[in-house]
Amino acid sequence: MNLSVIPMNKIRYILIYSLLPLFSSIATSFVVLYLVNQKIIINNPPNAWSSFAYAAIDAPLCLKYPLFVLSVSSFNLWSRAPVYIDIIDVTSIFWVNINVTIYVLPGSKYKYKIIYAINGIVTLLLLYTIFNRYELYVFDYYGANMIPDVGIVYVYSGLILSAFHIKDENYLTGLLCIISGFNCKLLDLYKGQDWGTCVFHMLTALGTNLVIKVNNLHFVQEERERETHPDSAVEPAFNSMHIQGDNNNAML
């Protein structure tokens, strides 16, 4: 098979959406086996093991990285973990939300560069916070403001994405799963229902996977349209303005 005849966009799509997630999942499996061999004492096994649902999300590498960090930190959160694990876990919640929102926004030409930049900045900030012993200050802030801050960020992101994908079945199903998951988490926080966090992990992971698929489907459709009609790659808004201008000239 001659690889030179395969378009570069198809090769890039295969690498980003197939091979890299596969390797990430394999790496996650090795980490899980290592943790098991270390015989870590887990306080709540359902909540701990359900955290790896985030690592199983089918996503490109730029999203896999924060999802993997969220999985590992959330897993360790339900064992005898130091304070900085809480910092990483809560920060990863915002981190994943921001990256997924940027990724799913249509027409975001430089989304991969921006997401990789965010990954680097967040990683450096976490390392700086931990090595300079600032985790207690951040922990106190998260303890007092985590719930409203997470709610504001997720509601704001949901409103933005709904403006573009409100009619997409994958998006609506994913949004419903995420909302239901957060409701279960609140039952754990305020009603003492231990199962709430486990269900929260599963539902939000499923919802995030569906929301990411919205963008994947659009990506495939756009690539097929470019291959089928290579000369029609003109912005719809420009076409409508051009047609309107012709109509106005005809009226004159």
pLDDT at 98: 96
Express as a percent the part of the chain with pLDDT over 70: 69
On whether the CB atoms of residues 167 and 145 are closer than 8 A, the answer is no
Residue, of 86 and 114, whose pLDDT is higher: 114
Given a cut of 80, is residue 73 above it in pLDDT? yes
Mean predicted lDDT score pLDDT of the chain: 79
Rounded to whole angstroms, the Cα distance separating 105 from 115 reads 12
pLDDT at 120: 94
And the tokens for 175? 């949004």
Mean pLDDT throughout 107-129?
Answer: 91
Mean pLDDT throughout 11-16?
Answer: 54
Residue, of 200 and 30, whose pLDDT is higher: 200
Rounded to whole angstroms, the Cα distance separating 71 from 248 reads 58
What digits encode the pLDDT tens for the residues 138-189?
Answer: 888 888 888 889 999 999 999 999 999 998 999 999 999 999 999 999 999 8
Q: Residues of 189-223 as b/e, b for ≥16 C-beta within 10 angstroms?
A: eeeeeeebbbbbbbbbbbbbbbbbbbbbebeeeee
Q: What is the pTM of this model?
A: 0.73
pLDDT at 219: 61
Of the CA atoms within 13 Å of residue 94, those in its CB half-sphere come to 18
DSSP label at 18? I
pLDDT interval class at 130 (50, 70, 90): confident
Mean pLDDT throughout 12-41?
Answer: 56
Given a cut of 70, is residue 29 above it in pLDDT? no
Residue, of 58 and 19, whose pLDDT is higher: 58
Comparing CA positions, the residue from 250, 204, 161, 238 lying closest to residue 67 is: 204
